[in-house]
Chain A
Amino acid sequence: MKTLWRLAVALVALVATSAAAEAPFITVASTTSTKNSGLYDHLLPKFTAATGIEVRVVAVGTGQAIRVARNGDADVLLVHHTASEEKFVADGFGVERFDVMYNDFVIVGPADDRANVRGMEDAAAAFGRIAESRSIFVSRGDDSGTHKKELGVWRAAGVDAVSASGQWYRETGAGMGATLNTAAGMNAYTLTDRGSWLKFANKGELEMLVAGDGRLFNQYGVILVDAVRHGHVKSALGQRFIDWLLSDAGQAAIDAYTIDGEQAFFANARDGAK
């Protein structure tokens, strides 16, 4: 009996120590595409070296990231869907929204390009051709920034892709990586952010086919979670992270990140603020 009690106490202690005090850290809710691009692996060590603050990134879909921030489970939100971000602040969950960087989305597809969209500069027209040829298109289908961008392009093309769900339009409801795996496996078209695509290691027979359309512009924004709503939020530390991101040092670091020699993100915080 006694040994049982001692064992129980030891276990509780073990569990407790794993939640014990550590070096200062903040939790950033961000997206899988940002994470998978490898940007954070390049950027965050620089921040930690400069400030001693550890950054823990929880990378999930955009919708989930916003949810996490709403619940107060993160200190900072960094996603890429401006409309949702502005709503987040308007609803009182965030302090203020700042532009941080941008990159773009690209359309990738099978090398044999059945829909004949290679080299087009009009994304909506490209989507139109894909729909006409009923070539298989894989969608995130998960309410993420990428997904919303994709739906926007279908609208511009005047195509109701969702109604063809299950036929040539396949919705995975998953993150960028899983969606790319599915597209590679099906040899299908899909919309992806450039960062994820460059880093993706299972391209199969897929190639980048369409890029450069202004519509495919992908803006990233950062927001400090409002401490008024959630008293425990690490506002001071979070603010330092945001300040650093928007500073010359942070912006330069962002620009310096390359994948296979190509710049993946373009810093565009104006004047270091707003």
Chain B
Amino acid sequence: MNELVEALGTAAMMIAKFDAELIEIVGLSLRVSLTAVALAAIIGLPLGAAIALFRFAGRGALVVVLNALMGLPPVVVGLVVYLLLSRSGPFGVFGLLFSPTAMIIAQCVLVTPIIAALTRQVIEDLWQEYAEQLRSLGAGPGRAILTLLWDGRFSLVTAVLAGFGRASAEVGAVMIVGGNIDHVTRVMTTAIALEVSKGDLALALGLGIVLLAITTLINGAAVLIKHTAERRYAQPALLGA
């Protein structure tokens, strides 16, 4: 209990002082996770929408696999990406290991299935409603995907936020592929892990509180944007008579 109180104090002080190291770590965390999520969205949104729209052999199995991949253990992803990026591995020539790039790649791999799976569900539900009308207007599959992604944007924002939550909270993947090197690959979660291993639990908890505060802020901002935009598009309960 003592640690918790001490931690709150530590967190407050770190934030108030604009502790330089803290800012560096937070900055890297945001850069890695936001980039990873953006890339994952670019891949996952159209991928999920395509799976929702098209019928092909093995589609059912693919959906099951995609949903299962949402639960990919970060440490396993880290291990696999490590093996791929290691100098002894297939992509070793790029020398990406122990760099922020490697961390972005690992988190992207982790988050893409989440975004794709959630998108698939959202778009599939939308397609039920829109299919006939869009086809009647002559929308081809590519056009339809873009239209549905835009029309479903509010639900999809939540999917992307879920991905961000996963990325910013995980430690297994970035620890292995990043190496937790000071000033280079140390992010909030690995810093917390380091402080725990040093026994400095109060500091670790303090960092944890800061991390939570940041993710809360980001989620809050996203929800705020969503609400303001949504009010413009509010639907009364007239449809579905």
Contacts and interface: CB of A to CB of B under 8 A. Distances in A.
Is B truly associated with A? Answer: yes
A57 interface: yes
A59 B180 contact: yes
Contacts of A19: 94-96, 99-101
B99 A200 contact: no
Contacts, number: 86
B98 A27 contact: yes
A82 B165 CA distance: 44
Nearest to A174: B197
Given A19-B101, A36-B198, A178-B197, A71 B88 contact: yes
A39 interface: no
A11 B197 CA distance: 34
A29 B10 CA distance: 31
Question: Size band of the B side of the interface?
Answer: 20 to 34
Interface in B85-124: 86-89, 92, 94-101, 104
Given A18-B100, A57-B181, A32 B197 contact: yes
B197 A73 contact: no
Contact of A11 (B35, B86, B100): B35
A193 to B, nearest CB: 13
A36 B197 contact: yes
B98 A180 contact: no
Contact of A181 (B39, B104, B181, B196): B196
A202 B200 contact: yes
B184 A56 contact: yes
B197 A177 contact: yes
A261 to B, nearest CB: 19
Contacts of A212: none
Nearest to B102: A19
A8 B125 CA distance: 27
B78 to A, nearest CB: 12
A15 B201 contact: no
A104 B208 CA distance: 34
B134 interface: no
A15 B100 CA distance: 8
A15 B35 contact: yes
Contact of A73 (B98, B199, B201): B98
Contacts of B98: 27, 56, 58, 73
Contacts of A7: 38, 42
A201 interface: yes
A18 B104 contact: yes
A178 B196 contact: yes
A110 to B, nearest CB: 16
Most A C-beta atoms less than 10 A away, residue of B88, B89, B196, B197: B197
Nearest to A199: B198
Interface in A71-87: 71-73
Contacts of B86: 71-73
Contact of A177 (B35, B97, B182, B196): B196
A15 B87 contact: no
Nearest to A231: B87
A46 interface: no
Contacts of A184: 199
A215 interface: no
Contacts of B95: 19, 232
Interface of A: 1, 4, 7-8, 11, 14-16, 18-19, 27, 32, 36, 56-60, 70-73, 175-178, 180-181, 184, 199-203, 230, 232
Given A200-B198, A201-B198, 8 more contacts: A11-B39, A27-B98, A70-B88, A72-B86, A175-B197, A180-B199, A203-B199, A232-B87
Interface of B: 31, 35, 38-39, 42, 86-89, 92, 94-101, 104, 146, 179-182, 184, 194, 196-201
30 contacts: A11-B38, A11-B39, A18-B100, A19-B100, A19-B101, A36-B197, A56-B98, A57-B182, A58-B98, A58-B179, A58-B181, A59-B180, A60-B179, A71-B88, A71-B89, A72-B86, A72-B92, A73-B88, A73-B98, A176-B197, A178-B196, A180-B199, A181-B196, A181-B197, A181-B199, A201-B198, A201-B199, A202-B199, A202-B200, A232-B87
